[in-house]
Structure 1
């Protein structure tokens, strides 16, 4: 999605980057953070002082994205989290790496695939189902303990934030 098109979406909804409050002390994992909506989310969160883990399959592209965000926000707290959603072993490894974080406040499942040809994940699942559904559930399950630590910290402060689908 181009910046011009995003501006049109913002104008229609009335919601802009400026509406995102300060996110100091919070950590977000954003899948597919190197392009499109994932990039915009990661960039906005970084601008609002969040720690952002860019969960991407391609390290050079993720590092280029980190550099691009730091041009606008030099103090951005960003890290590459290697994640290939077409391989559940990679999903498990990403969850193990994310466990090193003191807390995870939100997992933004942005990455996805769509294609006309039948392809399969490493484990043999149809690619669209494996990446867009199975991998995201596995990733969320793998990050539950770290997210729970963040919940305990917020509850101790007398506040609870929830992110999810209805």
Structure 2
């Protein structure tokens, strides 16, 4: 129930709403991970593939910073992806001491397959578990979430 004329929730209700939202998003992310093809890839390896797919070529240091891990740990992750022919290395265009990693064609196919599986599961869940009114509410809530996370 609102505590002022602007319709804002009281502080405790805002905290509860934030906790409930965080828990629901966390559960959704777990369900999406389960829906995607597991294969031989670890969650860390899949995250790196997704980052390269979205951000383009990157150095080990770039990837380590983005994932908040040590460069040595990222080297192991990327090394395995390279063994699996999912990423390939190329010389850095301006710094001869560095190497850029990017997706191979096989890597792009793997990312596309994982995304397709996740989206298919979610579309099916929306279609079969939510009423048309709930689907409209979800579309509205999605726009709000996009606004919430926009930088």
**What TM-score does the superposition give when structure 2 sets the normalisation length?**
0.31
- Which structure has the greater CA radius of gyration? 2
**What TM-score does the superposition give when structure 1 sets the normalisation length?**
0.29
More helix by share: 2
More strand by share: 1
